[in-house]
Structure 1
Amino acid sequence: MELRAEAIILSIRAHGEHGAIVRAMTEAHGLQAGYVRGGRSRGLRPVLQPANMVLGQWRARTQEQLASLTVELVHSRAPLFTEPLPAAALSWVTGLTSAALPEGQPYPRLHAALDGVLGAIEAAPAARGWGTALVRYELLLLAELGFGLDFEQCAVTGARDDLAFVSPKSGRGVSRGGAVGYEARLLPLPDFVLGGGGAEWEDILAGLQLTGHFLERDVLPGRIGEMLAGRARLIARIKRAVA
């Protein structure tokens, strides 16, 4: 197996005394893992950072073998890790993608959306500039993995408009009329999820609450402690930024 492609670095794990196992997302070949010799060296540490774009070359004798990987830096987002809020956002979205996706299966829409979220964080480090993009990315990831939410019509009345809530059990939208008396049991559905455009802080946080519920239940059930701690740090930093 030999593959040469640009890729977004998702995660890096130390392996042995000096090496690292890197998981990165390509557009046409999906998530690819590889062993980088000397990956923990002073020269490669700035390159092997989550969210960086690299040109990778994977080589392996068989499909089952962990490939050896060499990388060239194409674009660095490492400076953003000096800022707490962008660092938390980059760590969460790349870590989520690494944990959720199977290896070797292409997700071109997710690749494009991930690159868009990372670019938005880079262009406007304040969460107001990328919060809605993060929510939409998480909704897309749920859909691509077969856990998409259904906003076609109200689960109670069948109405196709005025959807304002989501059932935490079925993932289906619920209209204001259909939710009467049950609002406290439902998840808010922010307007920007259906209508696009920007959003206020309250709506961004509601969107993250919505996607977080289904990510925890359907995508990360075995890794809640490990993964959702990073998400909790991100949301706490957003709330501090809002205050």
Structure 2
Amino acid sequence: MHLSALAIVLAVRAHGEHGAIVRALTRDDGVQPGYVRGGRSRALRPVLLPGNTVQAEWRARTAEQLPALTVELATTLAPLHDEPLAAAAIAWATALTATALPEAQAYPRVHDALAGLLGAIAAAPSARGWAAACARYELLLLAELGFGLDLDRCVASGGAEDLAFVSPRSGAAVSRAAAAGYEDRLMPLPAFLRTGGEAGWDDIFAGLRITGHFLARDLLVGRAADVLAGRERLVDRLKRAVA
């Protein structure tokens, strides 16, 4: 096995006295694990930060063997790891991706969306510029893994007009007229979650509520649910930042 590609570092785990097992996301070959000799060294620790992009090379003699991985830094988000809000966002986005995606399966849309989200965080660490993108990244990940929400038509009427709510059971949109009398059982649907664009904080938190509900219910279950603590920290910091 020999693979060389640009990759986004997702997760780093200490292995032995000096090494590290790294999981990184490539565009064409998905999540790839590898053992980095000296990965805990002073030289490599700032390279192997989640969110960094590296030029990576994996080599293994057999398909069953954990590949040896060598890396060179391509782009770094190291300064953002000292910013609590940006660091929480990077930690959550990379941990979510590392936990949710199966290994060695290509998800080019997920790769490109994660790269875009990390770029938005780097460009605007204050959060106003990337919080909505975080919710839309979660929505995309759900869809790519088979848990997509149906936000294009009302589940009750079949119409596409005035979609204002989401059913927490079906994950489908509900129009304002069809929701009459049942609003308290539904989740408000912010427009940006369907169409993109900018969003106010109330809409951002409404979007994160929707994606968080379905991540916890459908995707991050069992041991994978442990990663949700990082999301809780991020949402809490966002709320404190805008209070």
TM-score, normalization: structure 1? 0.98
1:162 maps onto 2:159 in alignment: no
SS in 2 for 1:43: coil
1:5 aligns with: 5
Structure 1 counterpart of 2:92, one-letter code? W
| Partner deviation per Cα, 1:62-121 (whole Å, 9 max, x = no partner) | 122111100000011011000000000000000000000000000111111100000000
| Partner deviation per Cα, 1:167-190 (whole Å, 9 max, x = no partner) | 111111111111111111111110
Q: Superposed, which structure 2 residues align to 1:1-243 within 5 Å?
A: 1-223=1-223, 225-243=225-243
Residues 216 and 224 in structure 1, CA contact (< 8 A), matched pair in contact too: no
Structure 2 counterpart of 1:145, one-letter code? L
| Partner deviation per Cα, 1:186-219 (whole Å, 9 max, x = no partner) | 1111011123210000101111111001111111
2:6 and 2:238 map into 1 onto residues whose CA distance is 31
Residue 225 of structure 1: CA displacement? 4.9
Residues 117 and 134 in structure 2, CA contact (< 8 A), matched pair in contact too: yes
2:230 and 2:195 map into 1 onto residues whose CA distance is 29
2:96 and 2:147 map into 1 onto residues whose CA distance is 15
Residues 152 and 194 in structure 2, CA contact (< 8 A), matched pair in contact too: no
| Partner deviation per Cα, 1:134-157 (whole Å, 9 max, x = no partner) | 111111101100110002211112
- When the two structures are aligned, how many residues end up with a matched partner? 243
Structure 2 counterpart of 1:52, one-letter code? N
Structure 1 counterpart of 2:98, one-letter code? S
1:216 and 1:196 map into 2 onto residues whose CA distance is 23
Pick closer, same or farther for the CA change 1:173–1:199 going to 2, 3 Å: same
Structure 2 counterpart of 1:24, one-letter code? A
SS in 2 for 1:127: coil
Runs of 4+ in 1 over 6 A off after TM superposition: none
* Structure 2: segments with no counterpart, 5+ residues: none
Question: Root-mean-square deviation (CA), in Å?
Answer: 1.0
2:120 and 2:28 map into 1 onto residues whose CA distance is 22
SS in 1 for 2:151: coil
Residue 224 of structure 1: CA displacement? 5.6
Most deviating of 175-184 and 27-36 = 175-184
1:8 and 1:219 map into 2 onto residues whose CA distance is 22
Most deviating of 174-183 and 232-241 = 174-183
1:120 and 1:190 map into 2 onto residues whose CA distance is 20
